[in-house]
Amino acid sequence: MKTLFKHKAVRLTVLLLAALLITFGIYYVTLPAINVHNPGFWIFCFFVLLIYGAALGLFDLSSLLENGVKSFSGKRKPKNVVYDKCNFLGLNRSFMTKIGIVLILAPIVVLLIGGIFSSTFFNARRYASVIEVEDRVFTEDMPSVSEITNIALVDTESAIILGERKLGRLEDVVSQYIVSSHYTQINYQGHPMKVASLEYDGFFKWLSNRNKGVPGYIMVDAVLNKADYMELPEGMIYTESAYFGEYLERKLRFDYPTKIFDRISFEVDESGKVWYVVSCATARVGLFGAMDIHEVILFDPVTGTSELMKVENTPTWVDIVYDGYLACEKYDWKGLYSGGYLNSLIGNKGCKQTTDDFGYIMKDDDVWYFTGVTSITADQSNIGFVLSCARTGEYIFYLVEGAEEHSAMGAAEGEVQEKEYNASFPTLVNIAGEPTYIMVLKDANALVKLYALVNVKQYNIVATATTQSEVIAAYIQLLEQNGISNSDTGVPDNHVDITVQDVKFLTLAEVDYAYVTATDKNVYRIEFNSVNESVVLLKSGDVLTVKASLDEKTGIYRVTSWEWKK
């Protein structure tokens, strides 16, 4: 064996095979897209050239590490030069070393030059032209509502808690699987839902269950605040927690080696079939600039089959093609760079940007991202709001001035500051013709406790309650008390005169109510708070004019507003 290894051809073959194995190992673990628009591809090329340079003897890697750059010049002879024994080309050592250095540094040069000439400094207006934004009127585009059914009020943090609690009740699966923390917001059969697949709880759980796959997923109702476990007829083989060839991204990479994967979303179509929706990106500017989605892969995790299509051909049941952070970033390109790069730094004329988070609205059977837009020089106010369709990439802007989202969150938290609840990021709705933030207030365990409505223009107008109907009723009452009225309230105009027979005060879910029994035997519920504390003065025989709607489940009327009849 030693004699055989003395032959140059044998040594060279062994070194090249070793380099090939190392290269494949790096590729197998890092999974870079073989695409010139992917910076990771050039980094991969750098390491591959480094490995093969050492294998071919273009330089001695150990001497390089020990002696530094001087070993490249040829002035200091390395202690153990592979080149001297493997130079099958018979070329000058110094020349070969220089060629090797040039090849190895080439990917780094591409990264630097490509990055510079793809930057906003040279291409500001090209970045700004990536999207088009349509201006619309808020009150015309979003009608007033009396019930919120199209907004995901439950955020991901709360969905994770609900999903884990649901899984904990399933004895047959909880010992082998966990719920993924990567929830996807979808519009399922016209209703906002968050979905997340189950995942293997470690390598050995995968090993023992890989034949049957992952048996189901969690679906969280983002309006009603409840979770359900959905069992699949066949298990998912390719998942984010599987290993080797069944690892989802590795399967996708080997099927599509040149595609740059941006977002991989777990989704469910209208029939309940599970999919992974894979967004594929490319550069819109230069080599690496303005990365945007141009293709979509629909991947079946049960069978491992998939289909590649253009964004415009994506089926309507697909909800998430564009990531929310990418949607905000693209709007920022337009808002900041429409006047050129220098204007974004110095003049700031017309410069605007999105706030640092986003919410979800279901509109036209699609999921839309919602976020505020503020002037780059403003601090705590919005000049409007932007919606972006997560499937098509369409943008809509509403010119509505008012408080930015974090100010509204602070106002809602301050309303119940003694409870130390945390507000979720709000979303915009039309209540009684007024642009209004809606959000939920959560306790320290991320469980939803209250709903909150905050007026966009006057964020000191805040209503909180345990149910949607109650918070909307309280909010409309506050609008009327503050002289803000609109004929389109979204609530039936049911004014009636009643005579009080009896009044009782009860506390439900930490909210105080006055239950007024009228002489006609109907019961009217009034929320008791600082806004209408005069309710404590009610007594038998008082005649009131109330505006109320009947809760058909309980037979009790919910009072929107009331006053003593003159």
Cα separation, 312 vs 322, in Å, equals 12
Q: Where are the domains of the chain?
A: 2-117, 133-142+325-400, 156-321, 405-481, 495-564
Cα separation, 199 vs 303, in Å, equals 17
Buried b / exposed e along 48-80 (16+ C-beta atoms within 10 A) = bbbbbbbbbbbbbbebbeeeeeebbeeeeebee
Question: Angle formed by the axes of helices 324-337 and 120-128, to 10°?
Answer: 100
Amino acid at 113: I
Cα separation, 258 vs 37, in Å, equals 10
Please report the pLDDT score of residue 7 as a whole number.
65
User: Dihedral sign, CA of 156, 162, 166, 167?
Assistant: positive
Please report the pLDDT score of residue 509 as a whole number.
55
Please report the pLDDT score of residue 85 as a whole number.
43
Please report the pLDDT score of residue 90 as a whole number.
52
Burial (Cβ within 10 Å: 0-12, 13-18, ≥19) of residue 278 = buried
Nearest to 550 by CA among 467, 433, 474, 469: 469
Please state which of the four CATH numbers 3.40.50.620, 2.40.50.140, 1.10.260.40, 3.40.1010.10 is assigned to the domain occupying 495-564: 2.40.50.140
> Which residue ranges in the chain fall short of pLDDT 50?
61-74, 77-86, 88, 487-492
Instruction: Tell me which residue has tokens 């992974």.
Output: 276
Cα separation, 533 vs 36, in Å, equals 68
3-state helix, strand, coil in the chain (%, to 5): 35, 35, 35
Q: Give the pTM.
A: 0.80
Beta strands in 93-241 (DSSP E): 133-136, 177-179, 184-188, 191-200, 214-221, 226-236
Check residue 274 and report its DSSP letter.
E
Please report the pLDDT score of residue 492 as a whole number.
46
User: Dihedral sign, CA of 489, 494, 499, 500?
Assistant: negative
Residue 94: how many other CB atoms lie within 10 Å: 12
Please report the pLDDT score of residue 147 as a whole number.
75
Structure tokens at 9: 């051809």
Structure tokens at 217: 């997923």
Residue 293: how many other CB atoms lie within 10 Å: 20
User: Dihedral sign, CA of 303, 305, 307, 308?
Assistant: positive
Buried b / exposed e along 517-552 (16+ C-beta atoms within 10 A) = bbeeebebbbbbbeebeebeebeeeeebebbbbeee
Cα separation, 547 vs 325, in Å, equals 43
Check residue 241 and report its DSSP letter.
T
Please report the pLDDT score of residue 488 as a whole number.
46
DSSP string spanning 181-196? S--EEEEETTEEEEEE
Structure tokens at 255: 């099927």
